[in-house]
Amino acid sequence: MAEAGIADARREAMLLVSACLRVDRAYLLAHPEAAITRTQQRRLDCWLRRRAAREPLPYITRRVWFYGLELAVGRGALIPRPETELLVELFLEWASAQSHPHTPRLVDAGTGSGAIALACLSRAPQWMGVGIDRSRRALHWAQLNQRKLGLDTRLLLIQADWLNTLRPRSVDAVLSNPPYVLPDEWDALQPEITRYEPRSALLVPANDPLSPYRQIAQGARLALRSPGLLALETSPRLAAAVAEVLRECGFSSPRVRRDYGGAERIVWATQ
């Protein structure tokens, strides 16, 4: 795998072996003599070939960790990224300071594997959620995850275009990690991303890069009850422009939160 250009080939090979044998890495280190069956060997060879072809490890093992939850993930759904956990943190901070006379409801617009909605619901037990995606393949993974985590009675999944199907004043928080890769950034991305992850989950529309943000903010302005939260993940290159979009859509004081690397990552506002 090192010849294929994989930086941490040894660690990744170890992860593949432990996933294949269904044991943790500590067990493998303690039992280097552990036997492998012929079926496991065949599966492992296949997985190593796929990884050497630069398929992302989570698509091979069909598992990824996000905010302490083990999620199922595969082709068709974006692999949740660590920086998106900041959106969950911001929501939980804000939600803990609210008291609602009704059951509060959050929306995860462009839910993909369901990561954001499921992480929020798992830590905010009084909330209900709606996960929206236009991709049926992505929703398949979100559905698997809501069942696996026992959250299927608290998360409604809908195939739709952003917030178009929501009723006015029907939700209390809108969270989203929309596509934000600019066309001029595409070629510099790792092959794991460009060859395998859904382009429609990543790339902004070339003619109007801010249109996902505008559509979500316009929809949120109508769908949110007061006091409501709108929080959007973005890239440092787009953060200032996204804040401006929020202002144009009627959110008076948008704020920006930096990630742990110091990059402007979340634009958020309340109404």
- The amino acid present at 179, given as its one-letter code, is P
Contact range with ligand SAM by CB under 6 A, out of 38-46, 91-99, 177-185, 242-250 = 177-185
Residue 62, token pair as written in the block: 């069909």
Restricting to residues 197-216, which ones interact with ligand SAM according to CB under 6 A? 200-201
36 contacts 63 by C-beta, under 8 angstroms: no
Residue 161 interacts with ligand SAM (CB under 6 A): yes or no: yes
Q: Is the Cβ–Cβ distance between 204 and 245 less than 8 Å?
A: no
Q: How far is CA 268 from CA 99, 112, 172, 246, in A?
A: 19, 20, 14, 8
CB nearer ligand SAM, residue 78 or residue 166:
78
The helices-and-strands tally (H runs, E runs) of the chain is 11, 9
At its nearest, how many Å lie between ligand SAM and the CB of residue 102?
Answer: 25
Q: Are 256 and 235 in contact (CB under 8 A)?
A: no
> CA 180 → CA 40, 120, 199, distances in Å?
39, 22, 11
Site for ligand SAM in 26-85 (CB under 6 A): 78, 80, 84
Residue 160 CB, shortest distance to ligand SAM, in Å, is 6
Instruction: Indicate the SS3 state at residue 109.
Output: strand
Q: How many CB atoms lie within 10 A of CB 147?
A: 11
Q: How far is the CB of 10 from ligand SAM (least distance, A)?
A: 28
Nearest-approach distance from CB 134 to ligand SAM, in angstroms: 4
Pairing mode, if any, of strands 224-233 and 171-176? parallel
- Considering only 91, 162, 251, 268, the residue that binds ligand SAM (CB under 6 A) is 162
- Shortest spacing between CB 48 and ligand SAM, in angstroms: 26
Comparison of 110 and 228: residue with beta carbon closer to ligand SAM: 110
250 torsion bin: left (phi>0), alpha (psi -120 to 50), beta (else): left
**Positions 211 through 270 that interact with ligand SAM (CB under 6 A):** none
Q: Considering the rule CB under 6 A, would residue 142 count as an interface residue with ligand SAM? A: no
The count of chain residues that interact with ligand SAM, using the rule CB under 6 A, is: 21
Write out the binding residues for ligand SAM, residues 78-137 only, by CB under 6 A.
78, 80, 84, 110-113, 115-116, 132-135
Q: By CB under 6 A, is residue 18 in contact with ligand SAM? A: no
Integer angstrom CA distances of residue 257 from 17, 86, 231, 236 = 38, 9, 10, 10
* Shortest separation between residue 181's beta carbon and ligand SAM, angstroms: 9
Q: How far is the CB of 53 from ligand SAM (least distance, A)?
A: 23
Interacting residue ranges for ligand SAM, rule: CB under 6 A: 78, 80, 84, 110-113, 115-116, 132-135, 138, 161-162, 177-179, 200-201
